[in-house]
Homo-oligomer: A and B are copies of this chain.
Amino acid sequence: MTEKVVPLTDLEIASKATMKAIWEIAEKAGIPEEAVEPYGRFKAKIDVSKLPRDSANGKVVLVTAISPTPAGEGKSTVTVGLADALSKLGKKTMIALREPSLGPVMGMKGGATGGGYAQVLPMEEINLHFNGDIHAITTANNALSALIDNHLHQGNALQIDPRRITWKRVLDMNDRALRNITIGLGGPTQGVPRQDGFDITVASEIMAIFCLAISLDDLKERISRIVIGYTYSKEAVTVSDLGVQGALALLLKEAFKPNLVQTIEGTPALIHGGPFANIAHGCNSLIATNTARSLADIVVTEAGFGSDLGAEKFMNIKARQGGFAPNAVVLVATVRALKMHGGVPKGKLAGENVEAVMNGMENLAKHIETILAFGVKPVVALNRFITDSPAELEAIMEWCKTNKVRIALTDVWEHGGEGGVALAQEVLSLLNEPNNFAPLYRVEQSVSDKVGSIVQKVYGGSGVVFTDQALKNLQEIEKNGWDMLPICMAKTQYSFSDNPKLIGRPEGFAITVREIIPKLGAGFLVCLTGDIMTMPGLPKTPAALNMDIDSEGNAIGLM
């Protein structure tokens, strides 16, 4: 008789873990009791105004990854495991992560709390509503929409052109049927008819503002600068013209406090703000990062998807504005994902295939180049799976040795912090080296120069094509003097190019910018490339179909 060992799911591991009271975690993090506002027993909001006013000077370790594949890379898992390993080595460490969006949770990707023994807890609650921040952002966004449409309906004193309203409604949901809608139908008592559409909340400007504001005053000031559309005479209309920045900031008051939780091993983690990295800037809130930097010596944070998306924006947008440098970058890769970049389809990943892995290394190589282009040194975290063969792992290690790239094997899914010690040691040695971080472009450059530098130095593309629409947007942006802002690229995560099918390391491609949207509150210009959508759709079999709850309130089927 043979026994088959069924491995525990992430949810099962999370459910079995014993959490410490959040007070204890706060104390460990050096957060005074009066700053802690518990949300249940294992989550808290932190009132940063009650923290000791130390300067924020913890070092920042940014975790990014190769271009994602359906095989999965485990970036959040490595982020958590690395922090646990650093804690284990006696370093005062804190994690800063994004909050999961319900879109992917109910849709395809599942949650965003790490996996195995490298998770943040309570996994269920973080993945479902958490402390309500994203809902508050949705509400502030849609309150603005309702106030705009009410303004049109009640006489339109500002002479807003209903055809030129750029502010869209949002839901934290994958809901393609809401991408293009018409509203205000039904006659004169039912509002003014116009085209509209919903984005997912995590792509909204309010989310971006939330993640870049450094204080409540800054939050309100940024909200007041949002351009919601244009008048019949094509003048920009802002939130301050409507006079509702106070109400919108008020709706974000509690949400704006960073959320404290813990890893399975008890490392404190701040999880706050959650913009997607493909259609938004992809990093947790600056206020959480700053708070973590004021409390810990090392802050481990992540930016979404590959280094071409989250990390690029982390460096060109967030670090530039925050005035800090990422002191080290961890680049997560897996054998399976590299095989896919090497041309193997998902169904055929089983079995050793060193050649495919080596072919896929070109994707990793490009990400390494990208990070170096920012003047920061990377270390590759080779996130081990039980199916990886020694020869495959060895080939990657050897490649890194030959190319003088730091690399460490990690095994944090199975072993938690213990499985991340080798990586932690590499990171610590990197932190002792000088780095020459600088954003890739100056904001004073022209928009096309800025986009061009991202396309060439980050994506490895050959050029940029602006559609007529984008050129019209650009004209408007220059006319209004908004061109001196950083760029937030919206691009598929699957490829360096704007075509999701070009995996590996495509070359000689041009990026098509089809629309440029000024986000003056966030303080950047969004460039929509290729077919990228700001409202995802659900897959044929949504994750929701496997979810359930038992009579005692335990979650089933959360990933």
Contact = CB atoms under 8 A, between A and B. Distances in A.
Interface stretch (A38-46, A398-406, A427-435): A38-46
Interface string A78-115: 00000000000000000000000010001000000000
For the complex formed by this chain, how many copies does it contain in all?
2
Contacts of A143: 102, 106, 173, 544
A182 interface: yes
Interface in A233-254: 243-244, 246-247, 249-251, 253-254
A191 interface: yes
By size class, the interface of chain A is: 35 or more
B190 A180 contact: yes
A18 interface: no
Interface stretch (A125-133, A342-350, A455-463): A125-133
26 contacts: A106-B143, A128-B250, A129-B132, A129-B254, A131-B132, A132-B132, A132-B135, A135-B139, A142-B175, A146-B174, A146-B538, A147-B542, A150-B177, A150-B542, A176-B184, A179-B186, A180-B185, A181-B181, A182-B182, A182-B185, A216-B550, A216-B552, A246-B547, A250-B555, A253-B553, A253-B555
Nearest to A244: B544
Given A128-B251, A182-B182, A555-B253, A177 B549 contact: no
A369 to B, nearest CB: 34
Interface in A177-197: 177-186, 189-192, 194
Contact of A183 (B45, B181, B217): B181
A174 B153 CA distance: 13
Interface string A379-401: 00000000000000000000000
Contacts of A131: 132
A260 to B, nearest CB: 13
